[in-house]
Amino acid sequence: MTSQFDGLAALHERSIDELPFRRHIEMPSVLAAADGVDRRRVLDLGCGSGHYARFFARSGAGSVLGVDRSPGMIAHARHREEVEPLGVRYLVQDTDTAAALSGAFDLAVAVYALSYAATPKALTRLCAAARDTLAPGGRFVAATLNPDFATVPHYYRPYGFDLTVADPHLRDGDPVGVHSRAGEENFQVTAYYWSREAYERALVEAGFTDVSWQPPRTAADGSASLFARYLAAPHALALSARAR
């Protein structure tokens, strides 16, 4: 089983340091949308190299499981766990088949995973898989492509990446090129645009309620002024929902 992310594990790790908006905005926003992780059973869907899974473990989660369809990503995450044991477990598993973990978690988090759903059915299927992993009342948090991201060419280049679209008048399902660089390596994948209505519809159809979009948060270190242009049109937002 392969994905467009196989072979990118080390680059995925370095992006946290070399794309500082991730540490200063993305991570605080996800944690705020989750309303904390203390003593909760946390599932990291599409965990990649395991950065967020380790973040949740260090933040006091009761247990953490990371799943990803990329064997390369999971191999890297397991190696990090061997080097720095935090009690995080990892499985190679497609995010839309994670329903095998039925009802086992208080919190499921998907950082960018929903952005790679190419069709409305795939989007709903991912949301339903997340719902199935949660105990009743559990929370799902997704960091995903902001439906109102800036389509001006190179708007995000000062922050270390570019988003490219064929037509600035985006419609649901339109491809979005994600281009970045860390050190001497390039990162290029294809995501998909979904409107707020499409996300909310998929979540409700999947069995969620109380769907809400979270404004971006910044770390408590005065970094907001460094990211004023980014915060005016963030490329990603966190949304949360509660399992019925």
The CATH number that applies at residue 138 is: 3.40.50.150
CB 230 within 8 A of CB 159: yes
What's the whole-model pTM score?
0.92
| 89, pLDDT greater than 80 | yes
> Residues 117, 192: contact at Cβ < 8 Å?
yes
98 lies in some domain: yes
- Decide if 182 contacts 15 (C-beta within 8 A): yes
Tell me, yes or no, whether 121 lies in a domain. yes
Q: Is residue 187 part of a domain?
A: no
CA 237 vs CA 82, 105, 182, 230: distances in Å: 32, 23, 22, 12
> For the ranges 55-64, 68-77, 213-222, which has the lowest average pLDDT?
213-222
Res. 56: pLDDT tops 70: yes
Say which residue, 186 or 101, is predicted with more confidence: 101
Residue 187 forms beta bridges with which residues?
A: 180
Domain count, the chain: 1
Residue 18 included in any domain: yes
User: Beta strand pairing status for 236-243 and 208-214?
Assistant: antiparallel
Strand partners, 163: 178
For the chain, helix, strand, coil in percent to 5 are: 40, 30, 35
The pLDDT tens digits of the residues spanning 66-75 come to 999 989 899 9
Mean pLDDT of all residues belonging to the chain:
91
Residue 162 domain flag: no
Domain of 211, in residue numbers: 9-146+195-243
Q: Which amino acid is at 79?
A: H
In a domain, 186, yes or no: no
Closest CA to 18 of 151, 160, 174: 160
**Residue 27 half-sphere exposure, CB side, CA atoms within 13 Å?**
18
Give the closest residue to 198 by CA, choosing from 97, 141, 136, 117: 117
Structure tokens at 113: 């995973």
Is residue 172 one of the residues assigned to a domain? no
Query: For residue range 144-171, what is the model confidence (pLDDT) as tens digits?
Result: 999 999 999 999 999 999 999 999 999 9
